[in-house]
């Protein structure tokens, strides 16, 4: 019976941790709307930084001369 209480306590702690995570919906979608790409790290030429995609990814757009 004691193991049941421990399992319930662990389950409760996991649910509390999952509920506290920050999630910003649509970051990748917002980058695609701007005609950008999510690239790990920093943007390199011929791309420039247009925003953040989360988890260490940058939203990069191709530089176009007009």
Distance CA 50, CA 1 (A): 55
Residues in the chain: 66
- What global pTM score does this model have? 0.54
Residue 42 carries which DSSP code? Answer: S
- State the CATH number of the domain containing residue 17: 3.10.360.10
Residue-wise pLDDT tens digits, 25-57: 566 678 888 889 999 999 999 999 999 888 889
6-10, 13-17, 31-35: which range is least confident on average?
13-17
* Band (23; pLDDT cuts 50, 70, 90): very low
Q: What is the mean pLDDT of the chain?
A: 79
Residue 45 carries which DSSP code? Answer: T
Q: How many domains are contained in the chain?
A: 1
Flag whether pLDDT at 12 surpasses 80: no
Full domain range(s) for residue 37: 3-62
Dihedral (C-alpha) 57, 59, 64, 66: value to the nearest 10 degrees?
-150
| Residue 52 near residue 39, CB atoms below 8 Å | no
């Amino acid at each position: 019976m004691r193991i049941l209480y421990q399992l319930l306590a662990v389950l409760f702690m996991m649910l509390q941790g999952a509920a506290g995570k920050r999630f910003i919906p649509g970051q990748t979608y917002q980058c695609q709307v701007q005609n950008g790409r999510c690239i790990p790290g920093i943007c390199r030429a011929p791309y420039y930084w247009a925003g953040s995609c989360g988890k260490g990814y940058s939203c990069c757009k191709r530089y176009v001369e007009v």
